[in-house]
Amino acid sequence: MNLIGEIETLRKKEYYRAVLNKIEKLVRELRKRGIEKINIMHVCGTHEHTITYYGIRKTLPDAINLIAGPGCPVCIAPSYVIDNAIKLASGGVKIYTFGDMVKVPGSKSSLLDAKANGGDVEIVFGFLDAIKRFKSQGVKEAVFLGVGFETTAPTYATRIAKKLIPNGLTILTALRITIPATRFVLNLPQHEISGVIAPGHVSVITGANAWSFIPRDFNIPVVVAGFEPIDVIVAIYQILDALVKNEPKTMNEYSRVVTWEGNKLAQKYISEAFEVKDGDWRGIGVIEKSAWEIKTELEKYDAEKVYNLTRKKDEGFRKNCKCADIILGLTVPTDCPLFGKACTPEKPDGPCMVSIEGTCHIWYKYGGHT
């Protein structure tokens, strides 16, 4: 098998051009029917990366508007979760977390500030890494600050459900579920979404079937897509084709990785470790049944319970920061007065500029605004 040949095939300009020609034809067909604007939303930071990095928006007909929806778990972690982690770090509890999380400001400061003030804050690349470090460092008390969506939740769930966590280590979670968030966004009266591109690796866990509520409840097509430019452009083609044929349905463009049923084992661990609750999304508010919280019978692993942490009001974002509207796909980074001026990756004002999965960060870095 010529593997490189296959990759080259995926990247061949002629293939991209051929799909684009088909897209242009379908757009003309939709125009004939009086449809002038086709809004397609995705809900994944990596899709936004592909779209921006490869300049996909510029290659599409003007009628197609690609909207970045909620695809950044770091961006929507409520301010009180970060504040609580800072409080613990200031009180002598070691904090393990992901690199992006240390830079995101809570209501006043960040974990990086707490570290500068003597707090013990260490960056890890996952929960297992935190467990290994905790054991090898001989730490007595530590908290892993764990954020994430469907892809990340099972990586914590296994260790919690199987009780493979050493004494003294607990988890402060801000786990959110993209599926109810997508429903929330599609229900916003400001949006007129014609189709959705669903995230490939979230769907590895959930299965492509998990997105079937979109055609069922919103009467629009959804395509689970991979992260190559050709994946995104094929997903757009499939959405347009379904619109022309008036056949809203769930499609799986990424079948080389994603199954219809998903990772059943991961789903089992999630249901054993967590219960679904209403969840705060930073700056957005409460989204029904959108959070996974550690089950009461496993609360000895839950830092919120162990340290009696309170959930104060989510403070949202700083004044003039447009992160909330950007996460909801209601505006774009270039419409934020702070973008690229008072807010840059070096000196970010809001989490969308901090996180490498944030739309502002991606647009700033790769020029989505040009």
Of residues 73 and 279, the one with the C-beta less far from other proteins: 73
Nearer to other proteins, 232 or 242 (CB): 232
- Report in angstroms the alpha-carbon separations of 63 from 30, 107, 197, 220, 268: 10, 40, 17, 17, 42
The per-residue DSSP string of 92-155 comes to T-EEEE-HHHHHS--SS--HHHHHHTT--EEE-SSHHHHHHHHHHHT-SSEEEEEEE-TTTHHH
Name the residue nearer to other proteins (CB basis): 46 or 238: 46
Residues 6+ apart with CB under 8 A from 137: none
Got the DSSP string for 246-303? T---EEETTTTT--SS--HHHHHHHHHHEEEEEEEETTTEEEEEEEEEE-GGGGGGBH
CB of 252 to other proteins, least distance (A): 14
Number of Cβ within 10 Å of residue 138's Cβ equals 6
Q: How far is the CB of 96 from other proteins (least distance, A)?
A: 11
- Distance between CA atoms of residues 123 and 148, nearest Å: 15
17 or 162: CB nearest other proteins:
162
Please measure the distance between the N-terminal and C-terminal CA atoms of the chain and give it in whole angstroms: 40
Kindly tell me which of 38 and 362 has the beta carbon lying closer to other proteins: 362
Q: Which is nearer to other proteins, 4 or 14 (CB)?
A: 4
At 255, the amino acid letter reads S
Shortest reach from residue 319's CB to other proteins, in Å: 27
| Shortest spacing between CB 359 and other proteins, in angstroms | 13
- Residue 77, SS3 per DSSP: coil
**Amino acid identity of 9?**
T
In whole angstroms, the minimum distance from the beta carbon of 183 to other proteins comes to 18
Min dist. Cβ of residue 226 to other proteins (A): 8
What is d(CA 244, CA 116) in angstroms, rounded to the nearest whole number? 57
Q: Which is nearer to other proteins, 77 or 240 (CB)?
A: 77
Q: Scanning the structure block, which residue is given the tokens 């995926």? A: 10
Cα separation, 241 vs 249, whole angstroms: 11
Pairwise CA distance, residues 49 & 345, whole Å:
15
Residues that bind other proteins (CB under 8 A): 1, 3-4, 6-7, 10, 44-46, 49, 53, 71-74, 98-99, 124-129, 132, 147-149, 151-152, 154-155, 158-159, 162, 164, 199, 201-202, 204-205, 227-228, 256-257, 263, 265-266, 269, 356-357
56 vs 243, beta carbon nearer other proteins: 56
Strands of 64-68's sheet in order across? 64-68, 38-42, 193-199, 222-225, 250-252
- C-beta of 186 vs 198, nearer to other proteins: 198
Question: What sign for the dihedral angle of Cα 285, 150, 130, 362?
Answer: negative
Q: How far is the CB of 258 from other proteins (least distance, A)?
A: 8
